[in-house]
Amino acid sequence: MVGVSRRRGGACERIVGSGALRRRRKMAAAEAADTQLMLGVGLIEKDTNGEVLWVWCYPSTTATLRNLLLRKCCLTDENKLLHPFVFGQYRRTWFYITTVEVPDSSVLIKVTHFSIVLTAKDFNPEKYAAFTRILCRMYLKHGSPVKMMESYIAVLTKGICQSEENGSFLSKDFDARKAYLAGSIKDIVSQFGMETVILHTALMLKKRIVVYHPKIEAVQEFTRTLPALVWHRQDWTILHSYVHLSAEELEALRMCPGYIAGFVDLEVSNRSDLYDVFVNLADREITIAPLAKEAMTMGKLHKEIGQLIVQSAEDPEKSDGQVIQDISLKTREIFTHLEPFSEVSGDGEKLVLNFEALKQRRFPPATENFLYHLAAAEQMLKI
């Protein structure tokens, strides 16, 4: 609560200046907005008999989401590999899952492993990994969800939970922009070189990208970085970093016009209905689906973009942030190509492409084709 004044003998005495008050209100509003991003917390346990159970959650959740989160937590995997932290998205709900093995010294006598699940409205793996680790330590010590719920509510309402023994967490320490920049564009370019321009083009045109690798950690690290190739949009809602080939997940994916989807099941390579571009991360191969080849035709412009990406990424003096900035400047330059052929629509609400004017400019066929499909992706075509 922000204190503004206190009463003395029936009179009010100002204790906060108007400028300071405005700043405090602004900070309080920002903190409130940040804390309202969390949706729920849950607990999954694996007992000494090998059974995996959804034990507790706050507040309640749907059966569909519960089953999805059970599938995502590694405790139900037959290969018994422990994945300490996974994250993903399902129908605009982000999930973050931290899994730990229970040591013999814990009060959890009949439990061998457990997962703490957080659901939220925002993409911020580092923030929720930090918070779930604290919740894990609390559960290992107390063996009851009560302390976890208290901490969850503290972060939900105040953006902070403090504990000397389990560690402190402050929501505002984790900026969304830092999460966007946490991956490495340079690593992607070192793996794919000039072919990185295929990924850039697919993202510019809002195509469907599927990424496969048998290790979920590799999939997540790679996929989370890709939206930075189109930094001007700063849109991580296109990211679905951990998808199973289940009917409801694929149905949710199909509702998205363009996406980046990560899979650990090689069977996805046979599902050409799911992608325009397929990235086999394990074999370092990028494949363009037959139906997407016309829109993805490469020309001189793409060669220029590819060379810029590679030169920038290979510069040892440049950080990942500077490489992203270089690509973003080139992207803006591409949009300036469209400007002379854009006009205000009949209803005066948005810019649309004058295709005849574009054709008269006589760009190379691949450039004209790309600009046309870019206009389509930006919803600039006349209907």
Positive or negative torsion for Cα 18, 170, 71, 140: negative
Q: What is the pLDDT of residues 203-234, one digit of tens each?
A: 999 999 999 999 999 999 999 999 999 999 99
Contact 28, 157 (CB under 8 A): no
Query: How confident is the model at residue 35, as a pLDDT?
Result: 55
Query: How confident is the model at residue 380, as a pLDDT?
Result: 86
Q: What is the pLDDT of residues 240-252, one digit of tens each?
A: 999 999 999 999 9
How large is the average pLDDT for residues 47-61? 94
**Residue 345 or residue 293, greater confidence:** 293
> What's the mean per-residue pLDDT of the chain?
89
Sorting pLDDT into bands at 50, 70 and 90, what band is 89?
A: very high
Query: How confident is the model at residue 117, as a pLDDT?
Result: 98
User: Which value, in Å, is the radius of gyration of the alpha carbons in the chain?
Assistant: 25
Query: How confident is the model at residue 177, as a pLDDT?
Result: 93
In the predicted structure, residue 15 carries a pLDDT above the cut 50: no
Q: Nearest-CA neighbor of 145 among 57, 70, 35?
A: 57
In the predicted structure, residue 162 carries a pLDDT above the cut 70: yes
Q: Nearest-CA neighbor of 91 among 210, 277, 251?
A: 251
What length is written for the chain? 383
Where do we find the tokens 């984790």? 174
- Extract the tokens encoding 138: 């609390």
In the predicted structure, residue 9 carries a pLDDT above the cut 80: no
What pTM was estimated for this model as a whole?
A: 0.89
Query: How confident is the model at residue 98, as a pLDDT?
Result: 97
How large is the average pLDDT for residues 313-342? 93
Which of 64-78, 144-158, 266-280, 362-376 is most confident? Answer: 266-280
Q: What is the 3-state secondary structure (H, E, C) of the chain?
A: CCCCEEEECCEEEECCCHHHHHHHHHHHHHHHHHHCCEEEEEEEEEECCCCEEEEEEECCCCHHHHHHHHHHCHHHCCCCCCCCEEEEEECCEEEEEEEEECCCCCCCCCEEEEEEEEEECCCCHHHHHHHHHHHHHHHHHHCCHHHHHHHHHHHHHHCEECCCCCCCEEHHHCCHHHHHCCCCHHHHHHHHHHHHHHHHHHHHCCCEEEEECCCHHHHHHHHHHHHHHHCCCCCCCCEECCCCCCHHHHHHHHCCCCEEEEECCHHHHHCHHHCCEEEECCCCEEEECHHHCCCCCCCHHHHHHHHHHHHHHHCCCCCHHHHHHHHHHHHHHHHHHHHHHEEECCCCCCEEECHHHHHHCCCCHHHHHHHHHHHHHCCCCCC
Q: Using CB atoms within 10 A of its CB, is residue 368 exposed (0-12), middle (13-18) or buried (19+)?
A: middle
Q: What is the pLDDT of residues 112-151, one digit of tens each?
A: 999 999 999 999 999 999 999 999 999 999 999 999 999 9
Sorting pLDDT into bands at 50, 70 and 90, what band is 33?
A: low
The least confident of 24-33, 245-254, 290-299 is 24-33
Q: What are φ and ψ of residue 142, in 5° steps? A: -100, -25
Q: Using CB atoms within 10 A of its CB, is residue 336 exposed (0-12), middle (13-18) or buried (19+)?
A: exposed
